[in-house]
Amino acid sequence: MAEAESIIGTPDIPEAEGSEGAEPERNDGALTPDGQATDTTAAEDGDGEAMVDRSAATRRRRIILLFCVAVLAYLLDLGSKMLVVAKLEHQEPIEIFGSWLRLDAIRNAGAAFGIGEAFTIIFTIIAATVIVVIARLARKLYSLPWAIALGLLLGGALGNLTDRIFRAPGVFEGAVVDFIAPAHFAVFNLADSAIVCGGILIVILSFKGLDPDGTVHKD
């Protein structure tokens, strides 16, 4: 028997008992201090397409981008209004492209593009509500396009809300400074432009099925 075994050979014996059929260990990522998984590798959907990285670092970057866009939009709006009030108010309109586009300073007690002047306080409350909603959405923000869109909305809402609070005739009833006057269209400002651009981007993202958390719906 010993000679037969030496000729045939002895089958390999696993190093550890019970290793047969065992699956390799998986490391789905460590937990951050706030209890969320880091997800160091991008998730994949059923078709094998790479999804957004939902790590805590990614969320922080998206939030930082959101507030950077918001601050930029807000400062541009605030600076332009200060310049218009100082140099253009009570003056003749300045023609940029003939009668097609002018700079004409007016005070608007209504919403964007002069709509609803009798509801100043209501529009003030709406602007404040938009800011709160954006702050709540930021907690689950992983999409870069959504960060830009929400940043534009936030900056524009803050710009017009600043006018509502600090300009005449009173707190929460202040008239917004508008100065961009295209032909055959309402006069508006940079805050209105930021709000409209952010809204259009959100509509596009919604049609594409992209959620703020990076989830893509393929309906």
Looking at the annotation, which residues are catalytic? Answer: 178, 192
Contact present, 187 and 114 (Cβ < 8 Å) = yes
For residue 95, give Cα distances in angstroms to 103, 138, 179, 215: 6, 41, 12, 46
Give the whole-angstrom CA distance, residue 71 versus residue 174.
21
Give the amino acid at 71.
V
Give the whole-angstrom CA distance, residue 205 versus residue 213.
12
- Burial (CB count <10 Å: 0-12, 13-18, 19+), residue 33: exposed
* DSSP labels, 67-114: HHHHHHHHHHHHHHHHHHHHHTTTSPPEESSTTSEEEEEEEE-SSGGG
By C-alpha distance, which of 160, 151, 150 is closest to 126?
160
